Structure 1
Amino acid sequence: MFHQNLLEQILDLPDAPLLIQEVSSKLNEERVRREIFYNEIDESMKVEFINGEIVVHSPVMKRHNQATGLLYKLLDTHCYKYKLGFVGFEKIMTVFTRNDYEPDIVFFGNEKAKDFKEVQTLFPVPDFVVEILSKSTAKNDRGVKFDDYETHKVAEYWIIDPDSEVIEQYLLNEKRYELNLKSSNGTIKSSVIKGFEIPIRAIFDEKLNFETLQDLLK
């Protein structure tokens, strides 16, 4: 609805053709920068392409890394056990219409994952995304990424704050994200990853994570 209203506002302007031409020119320049970006990045870099700009990420704090690792361990074990698809983390470059992101954790169901190659470096829009907040990424995680994931129909999006140890679960409902859960306790159940349900504390507590992992392996 927002995009439709914006388009109508532009078309009402007398200089709409000139404005559209200018936007087209800017986007063409951006496409050139994006190609350069693809050619210059390598596996050692944690980097994204957002609205025409190259965003290089600094090293993460231990609590960020720990939350990522603990959740990835559980997700990957569950998905491997039940052959549900591919779980990636840290440097999986996902390609959207305009931008390229490397979310902290991604999941692709079998429909997408069956065509992946061992040497693949660029991946399609995921079915499920997790972002672990940090001071430098929170604005994008809650802003442009949130909007992009929603627009491109990422069915489930988890935002995790490792400082307050709170998780937010957003589910896509009629093209819009709805907050399904925000908590630091209890359990969380994925809508996309069949059968995946864990204690929220297992994302932050190593001992509970190990116990949960043992349960998953039974």
Structure 2
Amino acid sequence: MLTLPRKKFALEEYHQIIASGVLREDYLIELINGEIFEMSPVGFRHASCVKKINYLFAEKLGSKVIIGVQDPIKLNDNSEPQPDLVLLKPRDDFYANQHPTPENIFLLIEVADSSIDYDRNFKIPIYAENKIKEVWLVDLNQNLLEVYQNPQKNYYQNIKKLCSEDSLTLTQPEVITISLDRILF
């Protein structure tokens, strides 16, 4: 098998490429470990699930969080993914001068159907490596919620799989219990 050399990009180079117009801001792309990846198009079920989660957290947490929907986050100097939803620590500037970083994130959520393998096997280890405390992966194919907690080097020590009959307690920024039938189909 022939392995071709790849060009890795730093975050600054990535932003320069976008600013130059080579890659437009409306392209569905993200920078992960220095490589530019094209993101899967968002289907109806995916979009609906993101809206349901956004509505649920806005209803339950209000001004205690800033909810980022499909916005970039800066993990390090060569990774700027665009998770489906993040619960962020409130800031007066609403992150106007920089993208949120791991220490700003209470919870990160990915919703996946066609991208399930990419999210589970590629992005989640990178989130662990960058110390995102809690990640949820909504698996639309299996109608499950995977909860990842306690990040180690490039994996999460605690992983739970939950279904629509289950409920889940979120502890940050405050304790709330969520019935998963409000999220899962």
What TM-score bracket applies, with the shorter chain setting the length? 0.7 to 0.9
- Aligned equivalent of 2:138: 160
- Aligned equivalent of 1:45: 27
**1:125-157 deviations in Å (ceiling 9; x for gaps):** 22310001121x222211231112112211111
Aligned residues: CA RMSD:
2.6
Moved more, 55-64 or 36-45: 36-45
- Aligned equivalent of 1:75: 57
Alignment of 1:132-211 (within 5 A): 132-135=111-114, 137-172=115-150, 177=156, 178-204=158-184
1:124 aligns with 2:101: yes
Alignment of 1:1-150 (within 5 A): 30-31=9-10, 33-39=13-19, 40=21, 44-80=26-62, 83-90=63-70, 92-97=71-76, 98-110=78-90, 113-117=91-95, 119-120=96-97, 122-125=99-102, 126-135=105-114, 137-150=115-128
**Amino acid of the residue matched to residue 136 of structure 2?**
W
Shift of 1:67: 0.9
Paired positions, count: 172
3-state DSSP of counterpart to 1:144: helix
3-state DSSP of counterpart to 2:86: strand
Between the aligned partners of 2:135 and 2:149, the Cα distance in structure 1 is: 7
Between the aligned partners of 2:141 and 2:121, the Cα distance in structure 1 is: 19
Structure 1, unaligned stretches of length 5 or more?
1-25, 206-218
Shift of 1:58: 3.8
TM-score, normalised to structure 1, is 0.68
Shift of 1:164: 2.1
Shift of 1:190: 1.4
Between the aligned partners of 2:57 and 2:34, the Cα distance in structure 1 is: 32
TM-score, normalised to structure 2, is 0.78
- Greater helix content: 1
3-state DSSP of counterpart to 1:101: coil
Identity %: 20
Between the aligned partners of 1:193 and 1:52, the Cα distance in structure 2 is: 31
3-state DSSP of counterpart to 2:73: strand
